[in-house]
Amino acid sequence: MTETSRIESTAAIGAARDERLRQQSGLRRLLSRPELGAFAGAVLVFIFFGITAHGTGMFAADGVLNWTTVSAYLMVIAVGAALLMIAGEFDLSVGSMIGFAGMMIALPTIVFHWPVTLSVIFAFAGALAIGFINGLIVIRTGLPSFIVTLASLYILRGLTLALSILFTNRTIVVGMKEAAEGTFVGFLFSGTIGDPLFTWLADNDIIGRLPNGDPSVRGIPMVVVWALFIALVGHIVLARTKVGNWIFASGGDANAARNVGVPVGAVKISLFMLTAFCATVFAACQVFEFGSAASDRGLLKEFEAIIAAVIGGCLLTGGYGSVIGACLGALIFGVVQMGILFTGVPNDWFRVFLGGMLLIAVLFNNLIRRRVVGGR
């Protein structure tokens, strides 16, 4: 055997033994998908309510719109929470940011008579600045993001309450529907699309009508459009770009990622800004849909977003998860919340279910991950 052939043979044997080049079975690849548990959970939830809520209107056009809208609201913030968790950090200020951003839209508009578009820009700019500060403190000090954003949670909630009482002597600011009427910003956050389609569906008796003759579903709310847009962009960035690789690397081993040139600090700060942006989108949709801002808006939403992300396969230790899984987690949340309402079960059981789903999701994800990595 010549020296060249001997080298080629040795290289072939080494490649065959290299774990990175080993072929995986389809089942193993399926089990490695973070969203597998959330998909199975969503299927089970739909089957359960398809049986128990049959004939209640839950799966009529307006019923579908109800749980889709609830899911979309949570999906908006769950995507941001999932990406940040994959990077190894948490943002517990999301719920307070929703209330604060909503007040920053309403107060300038109602009290100081700013144009509503300027108020929205002001709220987004302020939220992004706060997200930047949160991320900067975490990166520069090395403090756990849990502690830093917990402090932000209380600061923002206190500011929201204090400012609303200071300027209006109330904890709720009304009049936003009238202020936004006929504006592009009003449509962007509280309008509907596809109205002619649903009118045609009602004319052909495919969907029902309200007592006043309007279609039971007027159109697709913009919060659903926002949710799908944020989810699509988040999935593409995470799964198809080098930024997605940076996010996984930052959450998997930040020091190793820095050593190979990943801008870990910039990635994490950007994701804190993303969660603030998503919270402001949530707030704007609420403010223009309900026509008001309230100091208690967004209460506990940070935990619901984290739960949706965990149900969707994100690990609490970072470095693993998917945007699709977080979206499925939000869908499960919306279907169960409205399903309990349609079936007449006391709403107290919803929290019981949510806590149980969180525990099951953590155990399931941990089990699957151990099996995929060979029991390590």
d(CA 9, CA 11): 5
- DSSP run (H or E) holding 220: strand 220-221
Residue 185's contacts (CB-CB under 8 Å, 6 or more residues apart) are 116, 117, 120, 288
pTM value is 0.89
Q: What pLDDT, on the 0 to 100 scale, is given for residue 80?
A: 97
Helices (H) then strands (E): counts for the chain: 17, 4
Q: What pLDDT, on the 0 to 100 scale, is given for residue 323?
A: 96
Q: What pLDDT, on the 0 to 100 scale, is given for residue 20?
A: 47
d(CA 152, CA 100): 11
Adjacent-strand bridge partners of 262? none
Average pLDDT for the chain: 88
56 phi and psi, to 5 degrees?
-90, -10
Q: What pLDDT, on the 0 to 100 scale, is given for residue 315?
A: 85
Region 179-186: what's the mean pLDDT?
93
Tokens of 187: 């449509």
Please check the confidence at residue 360 and state whether its pLDDT lies above 90.
Answer: no
Tokens of 326: 């977080």
pLDDT tens-place string over residues 364-376: 777 766 665 554 4
Please check the confidence at residue 216 and state whether its pLDDT lies above 60.
Answer: yes
The answer to whether 324 and 35 are in contact (CB under 8 A) is: yes
pLDDT tens-place string over residues 69-125: 999 999 999 999 999 999 999 999 999 999 999 999 999 999 999 999 999 999 999
What pLDDT band is residue 348 in, cutting at 50, 70 and 90?
Answer: confident
What pLDDT band is residue 25 in, cutting at 50, 70 and 90?
Answer: low
User: Yes or no: is domain 34-368 CATH 1.25.40?
Assistant: no
